[in-house]
Structure 1
Amino acid sequence: MGHREDLLEGAKRCLLQKGFVRTTARDIVKESGTNLASIGYHYGSKDALLVQAYVSLVEEMGDRFEPGWGAGGTTQAPPGSLERFREVWANIIRSMPESRAVWLISFELILQGDRLPEVRKMLVEAQSQGRSGLLPLFNGLPEAEQSKEVVDTEGRLYQTLLQGLMVQWLFDPDSATDADQLTEGLRRVIAGAEHKS
């Protein structure tokens, strides 16, 4: 690995150990075995590096959301079905305990956003990418084929559900919504909408 990759891996470890605000540039240098100048050269700033490290952690966590991840690598649920919806949410929920540190960083960033305007700006862009990244899990289309309209509607719905679920699981995992409850809730909303049409 080169300095760029070493810095990213070191920053990820620092985030998981100390969080965003408490991680210093010196912490990252110590953890990565690099030097202070490398941070500016490769990432522009410590905050830009930490944002990239956070996004990388979220992407790694997202790999466990894939249909079939918790079922031995196979899935029978067709894209767009309630079964697929349930399967993806079951995977997300199954990953919650081991992903807790990443979700806590998310909350730290939300709470510190006003104090870190440049970080907030970078994360707003990453959040938009996150919406389009969630869609293939549910509809089976590659991310590059998702239309802006789908990203701005369905992507926002899934992202909102994910963030709400994250809050519940961080607050009290025992009372948090499970995949069956989420799916049944959606089924009832669909049935109600069809009944009124």
Structure 2
Amino acid sequence: MGHREDLLEGAKRCLLEKGFLRTTARDIVKESGTNLASIGYHYGSKDALLVQAYVSLIEGVGESFDPGLGGEVTQPRGSLERFHEMWANIIRAVPESRAIWLLSFELVLQGDRIPEVRKLLAEAQEEGRSGLVSMFSGVPESDLDKETVDTEGRFYQTLLNGLMVQWLFDPDSATTAEQLTEGLRRTIGGAVKS
């Protein structure tokens, strides 16, 4: 690996160990075996590097959600059964990704203190919405139109963020994939009747 990759890997480890606000440039340099000048040269700033490391961590979590990326998809994409399967996969991944979700909420809660980071992360959210729609619908991200990402993507992202709050706060009382799917089924049924 070169300095760029070493910095990214070191920054990921620092984020998981110390969080965003407590990680210093010197921490990253020590963890990556590089030098301070490398951060500016490759990423522009420590914060830009940490944002890239965070996005990389989140992308890794997202890949664990979709059995179609590494295994066999058992339910038709876009179906309620697929909806259930995806949420069950997401919930199953919570224990391994807990540190990343805690980091996500640190960033949400501290966003006002780091406005430049908040801006970079807000831009990355659209990519996240696109990835979620693709997982649930089976449509490649490159084929999704802006309206779909802005509506369905926001729907899935809102459900995901709310579900993670529940699972981080109290896993014993958190919503299950079955409850989430039944809630959607009833909501759809009520909308059809009206």
Scaled by the length of structure 1, the TM-score of the pair is 0.96
CA distance in 2, matches of 1:124, 1:136: 19
CA distance in 1, matches of 2:20, 2:7: 15
Listed as ranges, the matches of 1:1-197 within 5 Å are 1-67=1-67, 73-196=71-194
Any unmatched runs of 5+ in structure 1? none
CA distance in 2, matches of 1:63, 1:128: 16
- Post-superposition shift, 1:183? 0.3
Q: Secondary structure at the match of 1:21?
A: coil
- Post-superposition shift, 1:68? 5.0
- Post-superposition shift, 1:77? 0.8
RMSD over equivalenced CA pairs, Å:
1.1
Q: Secondary structure at the match of 2:73?
A: coil
Superposition misfits of 4+ residues, deviation over 2 angstroms: none
* Letter in structure 2 aligned against 1:14: C
- Post-superposition shift, 1:67? 3.4
CA distance in 2, matches of 1:163, 1:76: 25
* Letter in structure 1 aligned against 2:73: T
- Post-superposition shift, 1:62? 0.6
* Letter in structure 2 aligned against 1:81: S
Q: Secondary structure at the match of 1:158?
A: helix
- Post-superposition shift, 1:73? 2.0
* Letter in structure 2 aligned against 1:15: L
Contact 1:65-1:88 within 8 A present in 2 as well: yes
CA distance in 2, matches of 1:12, 1:163: 21
* Letter in structure 1 aligned against 2:8: L
Any unmatched runs of 5+ in structure 2? none
* Letter in structure 2 aligned against 1:165: L
* Letter in structure 1 aligned against 2:104: S
Contact 1:67-1:87 within 8 A present in 2 as well: no
**Fraction of identical pairs, as percent:** 77
